[in-house]
A and B are shown apart, each in its own frame.
Chain A
């Protein structure tokens, strides 16, 4: 399956991935309207290490421990191997946040789990963070 991989060497730390992520998942067609004066909870985060930056989003683990820790059944792996959140089932307990070893899941402003679903369920259909990374530091491929 195609997954997102990150090459830290190429990351400019521009945070564009975060903006395009919020836009992609907003359901709003105008980017400014989607982001300005709205809660900013991207599903990809640019982390800062000493002298370097890199983007982190869900790794779509083969054996996802977030799914096994989920008390509500909101998290599951779909037939394509993508780990998805059923927001109507999530009770916001944070068990997934507690176990994700990458720190790639958060709880959004509505108190439900928020994670990368590879843009498969929004109108873009493939990860916008990848398309808009200016330096190819985030790629979407089979490995």
Chain B
């Protein structure tokens, strides 16, 4: 069986593991168009911070493809022909497939802003190359302006802080992490940034750029040496969309990770898949979703029939040492606990845990995540314990005994 994978990042990595688990001698070719083969994007801020090395960006080792007998070709795929079952690469050649995996992920979104072309030192914060570029251009005196205070913008600020302390973050929204958190938690994080001397200009946008300054919607001018554009990402649906795949915001897949095109599977940032909390198809665009979706797709490409129904939005990181973990949706009755610098919000709706945000103490967060992703009804758990400090003790004795006495 000939497997062709397009992308060469996390979703493809999952797909390779999935295929190999069932088809040891699979003939796998991966096409990718980045300079660094198979690395973990979320590590790029840790790399700037000095918490991980350039070598370790290749999170499964530089020899992963080689060790697994995977053919890796550094060409962009420009067209897919589902009738002939071939993909066309930028070198003009066509490559045949029996099963195709589409894992093209997402690309940073940069809206047209007047004068942007005049800025010499600008970058997105998305690829390993972006991080290498920043490391090269920034020095201790650089004034860094980050446009966008989402997760990527803030992780960029944290990474760059180890090179320069002169950082301004701006966002159109009136708080940091506008989509990933609530106003209350945003305030906590904003205080952390303020303590570090990171300037935040919220509720303002960039009207135009000059070579070394940004003119804000307030008329104010912010001078800078380097600009990072971190205004969000958009799924890459081409060239599969042109080949006839159903799309909405991303490529639509069913719970088996099949696209509407026969023998073509997809997962990761480019795909809209089933979200266990809303019960709807959604772009999740997270590392575990890409890996796990890819894994299921890979297994199904190799003949299995597994569905993926436990995916949820979830994220764990820290900002300047303050731990932050969240999951699900912030929809429902709010149960809030504050204990010194620790903050916890649980969201409950129709007898189910829908989401949580933990700041500071994130111990045993997985107990909550499991209850959310498996839609375990709260009538089956000890909720005094659950809302206090989560552990296996929230389950009844029989469930617990089963969990602790059987192979899992």
Contact = CB atoms under 8 A, between A and B. Distances in A.
The answer on A and B forming one complex is yes
Contacts of A91: 43, 46, 51-52
Interface stretch (B93-101, B112-120, B397-405): B397-405
Contact of B393 (A49, A59, A99, A107): A49
Nearest to B56: A89
Contact of B316 (A48, A49, A97, A102): A97
B336 interface: no
A48 B384 CA distance: 13
Contacts of B273: none
B317 A97 contact: no
Interface stretch (B181-189, B259-267, B286-294): B286-294
A8 B316 contact: no
A97 B363 contact: yes
Nearest to A88: B56
Contacts of B14: 68
B318 A101 contact: no
B258 to A, nearest CB: 20
A125 B76 CA distance: 48
Contacts of A93: 42, 316-318
Contacts of A3: 407
Interface in B132-152: none
Interface residues of A, number: 41
Interface stretch (B81-89, B224-232, B366-374): B366-374
B162 to A, nearest CB: 13
Contacts of B292: 65, 68
Interface in A53-102: 54, 56, 59, 61-62, 65, 68-73, 88-89, 91-95, 97-102
A43 to B, nearest CB: 13
Contacts of A61: 408
Given A72-B56, A73-B60, A8 B400 contact: yes
B406 interface: yes
A8 to B, nearest CB: 6
A50 B59 CA distance: 42
Contact of A103 (B323, B382, B392, B401): B392
B382 A50 contact: yes
A99 B362 CA distance: 11
Interface in B350-408: 362-367, 369-370, 382, 385, 390-393, 397, 400-401, 403-408
Contacts of A38: none
Contacts of A89: 52, 56, 59
A99 B369 contact: yes
Given A49-B397, A97-B365, A103-B391, A62 B405 contact: no
Interface in A6-53: 6-8, 45, 47-50, 52
Given A98-B325, A98-B365, A8 B401 contact: yes
Contact of A97 (B60, B364, B370): B364
Given A47-B393, A50-B382, A56-B391, A99 B288 contact: yes
Contact of B325 (A92, A94, A101, A103): A94
Interface in B288-319: 288, 291-292, 295, 314-318
Nearest to B321: A111
A140 interface: no
Nearest to B287: A71
A62 B407 contact: yes
Contacts of A6: 404-405
Nearest to A106: B363
A50 B396 CA distance: 10
B160 to A, nearest CB: 16
B51 A97 contact: no
Contacts of A5: 404-405
A102 B366 contact: yes
B247 interface: no
28 contacts: A3-B407, A7-B404, A47-B392, A48-B393, A49-B385, A54-B400, A56-B391, A59-B403, A68-B292, A71-B40, A72-B40, A73-B59, A92-B51, A93-B318, A94-B316, A94-B317, A94-B323, A94-B362, A95-B287, A95-B288, A97-B325, A97-B363, A98-B366, A98-B369, A102-B366, A102-B403, A103-B392, A143-B407
Given A62-B407, A69-B291, A93-B317, 15 more contacts: A49-B393, A56-B404, A68-B291, A68-B295, A73-B40, A89-B52, A89-B56, A94-B365, A98-B314, A98-B325, A99-B366, A99-B370, A102-B366, A103-B391, A105-B366
